[in-house]
Structure formats: C-alpha cells, structure tokens
Amino acid sequence: MTLGYRPGTGVLHRAHPFTVLALAGTVAVLAFTLSAPLGPMLLTAGLVAIAVAARVSRTLLTALAFAAPFWVFLVLIHVVFGDSPDRAVTVGSQISAVLVVFLMTLAAVHPGRLVDALLERGVPFHVAYLLVATLQSVPELQRRASAILDAQRCRGLRVRGSVWGRVRSVVPLAVPLVLGALGEVDDRALALEARGAASGLRRTPLDPPHDRLAERVTRWALLGSVLGTIAWRIVA
Amino acid sequence: MIPLSSRLLALIPLAVGINLAMGKFAAALSLPLFLDTVGTVLVATLAGPWAAVATGVVSQVAFTVLDGKLMWMAFLPVQLGVALYAGLAARRGAFASPWRAATAGLVLGLIAATLSWPIAFLLFGGVTAGGVTVVTTLLTALGVPLKWAVYGASLSNDLLDKCVTFLLVHVVLISLPKRLSARFPAADLARGRA
C-alpha cells in the first residue's frame, strides 16, 4: 500500500501545495453537497482520471484497500440488516471520493514544500513547527511504546486474563512512556528557545514554491464551485 | 493566534505522540479502548484548556495524515470537547483522587459519545472505526434502530475509554517527580493541592 509522499513529476507534484490542498478541500465539500449517489460517484470517477493523468495511480490501490472495510460494514448495516441500500451507496461513494483525493494529496505534496509555502504566506513558525515536530514525534514514541511493552512482558506483565486485569496492566506501560516524554520537555524547550522559535518573528523560506497565475485562478475557480454548489443546494 | 511558549511548543508534539502511541498498548492488551486522548488530557492538567485545545487540533490533524483518511477530521469537535472539558475539570481538582478522576472520566465519556454520534450517524451512516462499527453492526442485527445502535456503540466504548484515560492521567500526576511537577504549576491545581 502507498501512504505518504512519493517523489514524482506529475502535474500534482509540480503544482503549488495550496492548489492540491484546495482540490482536496473542494472534493471533501462537494462529496457531501452534490446530489447523491450520482454526484459523489462522478466525482470519484473524475478523481481516478486525475490520479492516472497525474501519475499517482498507485494511490488508487491504497484507496481501494482503505474503502473496502467501509463498504463491507455499510452493506451489512444498511442492506443485510437494514433496508436502505441507497444510503449505503451514497455514504460509500462519499467516503471513496474523500479517500482518493486525500491519498493523492499526501502522495503529491512534500511536507517540506508545504511548510515553505505556509511560511511564505506569513503563517507563524510555531504552527509549522508543531506540524513537522509532531509527525516526527509519533513514530519515535511508537517505537518507545514497543520497547516498553517488550520490557514489561519480560518482567511478567500479564496481557491476557480479565478485562479489569488487562486495564490495570496499562499503568506499567503508560506511566514510563508519559514520564519519559515529559522528561524531554525541558531539553527541547531550551533548544527551541535558543533558536528563537517562540519569538513570533516572521521566517523567510529559502526556496518557496512558485505560485503561477493559472494556479491562483484555479484555486479561485475551485472556491467558486464550492460556494456555487452550496448556494444551489440551499435554493433547490 | 494563541502565543505558545517554548515549553508548550516542546510539550504538544510529545503529547500528540503519546495520544497516537497509546493505541499500541490497548491493542497488545486486547482492550476495546482507543486511549487516544491521554496526551490531550495530560496537557489540560499541566498547561490548561487552551494548550489542550491546541494539542487536540494537532492530534487530529496528525492522526488524519498518518492514517490517510481525511474523514477523521470530521471528529475534530470531539477532541475539542475533550480538551475543554478536561481543562475545566482539572481546574476544579478532578484528579485529586481516583474516584473523582473516574467520575469525571465517565462524564467525559458521556460528552464524547454525545458529540461523536451525530457525526458518525449523519456523515458516515454509522460506519467509523473497526471496533465501534462491529458493536453498531451487532446492535443493528438485533433490531436496534440505527441511530440508537450508533449511540449505544459510541457510549459503550467512550465511557470505559475516558474513565481509564482520566485514571491513567491521575496515576501520572501522582507519579510526577517534584522536579517535573515544579515546571507545571497547574498540575497542583488538578491534584487538588493548590
């Protein structure tokens, strides 16, 4: 399965990060505002065509794998045990459209380019830092959680038995993880202080993504399509 | 934009990491829990509700990006509700004893389920995360109307999840070394020692 950024030269890779994000936002809104189920289904078909044209078609397999469990439960709940197959198709196609566009976005937008684009537009450094530092912290803490789990198992931690017994077993796992993380706060805070991270001053990115006129027009058109669809749904 | 100190800038990514790493423990112990708000509740007790709100927002964005499913952003109001409630509960000394923590956690479970069920029911037709959806499917198979099946599944999960979350944070707060505790004066308020 393909999840996350993958280098490429397609139209989405070359586009300004804001244009790809605008496409994702537009699809997320249109999937739930267009007439269902035809609207979301056509939207998904259009996204499949864009994915192929933009050479990010491998994300379609991931989207298929992610969407399959949703479809299974939707059919069980609304068709097998319920009587609203239309609802299953509507929600399933809405979820599929949102999955496809988001996986395409993740595959095409490099996090570093996005941060540069945000900084160029005056977004405070600490916002960009929070996003990047978090994405780095998560795998690190998950590795530590695995190490703590292995260590406590070696010491005889019970991972089977009654629910109450297993709930109690969370304590010797969670406390070392949390206290260890809190112990790092001071070191990190000092490093951030030394770099003036909390100063609030504007940073200048070295090589911000180029934002062409055609892309700015595209983003306005996407915004217009969202507002137009919402207005049409309110009036109709 | 809320100004963030260097200490908060350092704390929030670690708290989000805790939120997302705790699921590994729940899975290893085969517990029907998410434990994905432990970091948010912890920040609420150490730095107040607004820092917890920032943690909740970053946590939801990170979870959405790492899981590859944009739909999870729809559950942002639940994280915000958890953060605000935990911050206010901490100010009232909700972590002073295990009983108070468990009771405050149960109330949060009720709030979280009430916030999440309209999102799960209206936007996703009752189909969300694996375990909760299995319960929803079972209740639907037993003839429970879908909206009550979704609420019942959310409630059964959230009551236990948030109760255990608050108890865990209580244990962390009483285990906090004095050197660390001195860095976060709000922790004393949460422990009822102010």
pLDDT averaged per 10 residues, chain B (length 194): 79 94 88 91 94 94 88 92 95 93 96 93 83 87 91 92 95 90 85 74
Same domain, yes or no: A134 and A178 = yes
Sequence-distant (6+) residues with CB within 8 A of B45 are B86, B90, B95, B169, B173, B186, B187, B190
Structure tokens, B62: 């990170």
Structure tokens, B83: 């953060």
Q: Global pTM?
A: 0.88
Mean pLDDT of A157-182: 90
In chain B, the N- to C-terminal Cα span, in Å, equals 29
Same domain, yes or no: A32 and A95 = yes
Residue contact B137–A73, C-beta within 8 A: yes
Same domain, yes or no: A48 and A104 = yes
Q: Does B94 touch chain A (CB under 8 A)?
A: no
Q: Mean pLDDT in chain A?
A: 90
Same domain, yes or no: A53 and A99 = yes
Instruction: Name the more confident of A199 and B50.
Output: B50
Residue contact B29–A140, C-beta within 8 A: no
Same domain, yes or no: A24 and A77 = yes
pLDDT given at position A123: 86
What is the domain partition of chain B in residue ranges? Answer: 6-190
Chain B residues lying within 8 Å of A74, measured CB to CB: 125, 127
Residue contact B125–A188, C-beta within 8 A: no
pLDDT given at position B57: 94
Residue from A139, A118, A147 nearest A205 by CA: A118
Rounded to two decimals, the ipTM of the complex is 0.89
Q: DSSP for chain B?
A: -----HHHHHHHHHHHHHHHHHHHHHHHTT-S---TTHHHHHHHHHH-HHHHHHHHHHHHHHHHHHHT-GGGGGGHHHHHHHHHHHHHHHHTTTTSSHHHHHHHHHHHHHHHHHHHHHIIIIITTT--SHHHHHHHHHHHHTT--HHHHHHHHHHHHHHHHHHHHHHHHHHHHHH--HHHHTT-THHHHHTT--
Residue contact A145–B25, C-beta within 8 A: yes
Q: What total number of domains does chain A contain?
A: 2
Same domain, yes or no: A17 and A54 = yes
Instruction: Name the more confident of B131 and A92.
Output: A92
pLDDT given at position A2: 56
From B25, B140, B180, residue closest to A173, measured CB to CB: B25
Helix, strand, or coil here: A224? helix
Same domain, yes or no: A176 and A220 = no
Chain A residues lying within 8 Å of B16, measured CB to CB: 134, 137-138
Same domain, yes or no: A137 and A98 = no
Q: How far from A99 is each of A9, A48, A59, A77, CA to CA, in Å?
A: 22, 11, 10, 21
Chain A residues lying within 8 Å of B137, measured CB to CB: 73, 76-77, 81
**Considering chain A, what percentage of its residues have pLDDT values greater than 90?**
64
Chain B residue nearest residue A191, CA to CA: B6
**8 Å CB contact between A127 and A118:** yes
Ramachandran quadrant class, B35 (left: phi over 0; alpha: psi -120 to 50; beta: rest): left
Residue numbers of the domain that contains A63: 11-110+209-235
Select from B1, B2, B29 the residue whose CB has the most chain A CBs within 10 Å, as the one to mutate to test that interface.
B29
Chain A residue nearest residue B8, CA to CA: A189
- Report helix angle A213-235 to A17-33, nearest 10: 10
Residue A202 inside a domain? The answer is: no
- Whether the per-residue pLDDT at A94 is higher than 90: the answer is yes
Same domain, yes or no: A104 and A128 = no
Chain B residues lying within 8 Å of A173, measured CB to CB: 25, 28
Same domain, yes or no: A102 and A133 = no
Evaluate the CA torsion angle B174, B177, B180, B183 in order and state its sign: positive
What CA–CA distance (Å, rounded) separates A108 from A8?
7
pLDDT given at position B2: 56
Four-way CATH pick for B6-190: 3.90.550.10, 2.40.50.100, 3.40.50.300, 1.10.1760.20: 1.10.1760.20
Q: Does B178 touch chain A (CB under 8 A)?
A: no
pLDDT confidence band for A1 (50 / 70 / 90): low
What CA–CA distance (Å, rounded) separates B140 from A86?
17
Same domain, yes or no: A89 and A129 = no
Structure tokens, A136: 């780095």
**8 Å CB contact between B172 and B193:** no
